[in-house]
Structure 1
C-alpha cells in the first residue's frame, strides 16, 4: 500500500482534516461519505479514513491543540522538504509548521501561499494507488484564490511542476493541473475576486469528495450538525454542493449525473 513519491512529485498526495473532536468527526464523515476508520500511524489522536479497505484521508484532533480553525488541507509530494520550504519563503509564502520528521521516515510541513491559502508538502512514501480523481481518493481539489494565473506561477515554482509527472493548462479563467493526463486540481480566481468586499471569503484549497447520490449526503450532513453552504451546482456530468462540518471545516460533495439525477433542490 506504500510507494515512493517519485511518480507523484508535484501532485496532490494526501488530504487531512484538523478537527477538535475526533469521535464526532468520525461519526459525521462516516454518515455523509460512508467512511470507516482505523488508528493513524503518526501518533495518538489520529485516524485514517478508508473505503473498502483503501485509505482516503486522515483526521486528527489537532485544531484545538494548535489553536487553528478546523479545516481540510491538501498535501503535495516533494522530493526535498527543506528545499521546498526555502522556495516557499523566497516566493512570498509563509511556513507555519515544519519541516517535521516522523517515525515513518517522511517529512512534512504546512505553509500558506502568497494569498493566504493553506497547503501541505510531504517528502517520503505515499499510499500506492492514491490518486486524486481515481478510486476512492477525492474527486478533485480546487484552489479558490485571487488570481489563478499568479497562483499557478507560485505553485509551479515551489512544487517544480515543470520537472514532475504533472502538467498545467489554461482553460477560460481556470488553471487545470493534470497528473498523467487526468485533471486533479483546478485553480479558480472567480469565487474570490471580490474578497476585499466579502471578508468571510478568503483564498483556500477545497477538497471535493465523491458520493453515490447528492441529496442523501446533504441530508445526513444536516442531521449531524453540518450546514449546506451553497446552492447545488452542476455541469454536463456531475452535481455538487459545498458543506461545512459541525466543527466548521469546509468541503464539497459531488455526485455523477449518471447515478444521481437532478431533483430541483436549490
Structure 2
C-alpha cells in the first residue's frame, strides 16, 4: 500500500491544450495523454510526467461542463489511497459527508469514489480493488 497521505491529484481545466502549455511554461513539466476510462471523447486527461520515486503524481482533466456540473465548483481533487475504496466510502455519510460518485472502475488503473466532506470539499478515494 502507498505510504503517502495523497496518492493522486486532478486539476480540472476548461481547455486541456492551453493548460498543458501553461504548466509546461511555468513548471517545465511534460505531459502524456491518458485514454479516457469510459472511452468517450468528452473526457480527456494529460498526466504530469514525473521522475521515478517522486511519490505523488496527477493529471490535468477536461470534461464537458467541468466547471458547472461539479460539486463545490471543484478545480482540484486529491485522492487518498485505500485497500478497497468502498470501505472508506461506506463511512462518509455517518461522518457527515456525502458520496457524490460511488465506487466506479477506471479500467486497468483501479477504482475511485468521489465524496464531499463536511465543509463541501471534494476528495477522492482510490484503490486497485
Which range, TM-score by smaller chain?
0.7 to 0.9
The one of 10, 17, 42 equivalent to 1:16 is 10
The one of 110, 113, 117 equivalent to 1:106 is 110
| C-alpha contact 1:42 1:104 (8 A) present in aligned 2 | no
The one of 19, 30, 35 equivalent to 1:25 is 19
Tell me whether 1:115 sits opposite 2:127 in the alignment: no
Tell me whether 1:91 sits opposite 2:85 in the alignment: no
| C-alpha contact 1:19 1:64 (8 A) present in aligned 2 | no
What CA distance in whole angstroms lies between the structure 2 residues aligned with 1:29 and 1:99?
30
What CA distance in whole angstroms lies between the structure 2 residues aligned with 1:94 and 1:76?
16
Change (3 A) 1:120 1:39: same
SS at match of 1:67: coil
What CA distance in whole angstroms lies between the structure 1 residues aligned with 2:32 and 2:115?
27
What CA distance in whole angstroms lies between the structure 2 residues aligned with 1:7 and 1:28?
30
TM-score normalised according to structure 2 size: 0.78
TM-score normalised according to structure 1 size: 0.40
**Residue number in structure 2 paired with 1:147:** none
What CA distance in whole angstroms lies between the structure 2 residues aligned with 1:41 and 1:124?
18
Task: Trace 1:1-266 onto structure 2 (pairs within 5 A).
Answer: 6-8=1-3, 11-43=5-37, 45-52=44-51, 56-62=57-63, 64-65=65-66, 67-68=69-70, 69=73, 71-124=75-128
What CA distance in whole angstroms lies between the structure 2 residues aligned with 1:92 and 1:119?
14
**Residue number in structure 2 paired with 1:153:** none
CA RMSD of aligned residues (A): 2.5
Q: How many residues align?
A: 119
Change (3 A) 1:84 1:73: same
SS at match of 1:35: coil
1:22-47 per-position Cα deviation (integer Å, ceiling 9, x unaligned): 11111111111111111114445111
Q: Which one has a bigger Cα radius of gyration?
A: 1
What CA distance in whole angstroms lies between the structure 2 residues aligned with 1:72 and 1:33?
17
